[in-house]
Amino acid sequence: MQYLQLIIGSLLVSLPFCRPGATEDQMWAAGKLMRDVCLPKFPKITTEIADGIQKGILPDDKDAKCYINCIMEMMQTMKKGKFMVESTLKQVELLMPESYKASYRKGISECKDAAVGIKNNCDAAHAQLTCFRSKIEIFVFP
């Protein structure tokens, strides 16, 4: 919870200086903060596994799926197993470099129903990210 408050506080302090979008360095820095919060919650997820997920290698096991869910909930793209389309689109506009946005908007549109009907939150996040990986040209994940 303290990390989330730190992230939100940092974002609020920097808002007056922001323009729409972010640099690639800023995007990865925000992602690192999320990883730093979620990795300790899932001790079976090593840095190597997290690096693989970052590159689109999505293990099909409970810990990996729940780690993905943790990150996606922090990004406000998933909430209780449901994909948050509007929130995700806002995050893309605020936190992604301009060169990524068109591909992400298209992928979000194509994947909006990827987790529909999946009851387990971790399975839903994994299904959502799997769809993104296949539909988004420049796939990135913290």
Residue-range domain boundaries for the chain: 2-12+19-135
69 residue type, one letter: N
What's residue 2's pLDDT?
59
Condensed to tens digits (0 to 9), the pLDDT of residues 77-135 reads 999 999 999 999 998 998 889 999 999 999 999 999 999 999 999 999 999 999 999 99
What the block records as the tokens of 24 is 């690639």
Condensed to tens digits (0 to 9), the pLDDT of residues 5-40 reads 544 544 444 444 445 577 888 888 888 999 999 999
Q: Does domain 2-12+19-135 have CATH number 1.10.238.20?
A: yes
This prediction has a pTM of: 0.82
Nearest to 45 by CA among 97, 122, 137: 122
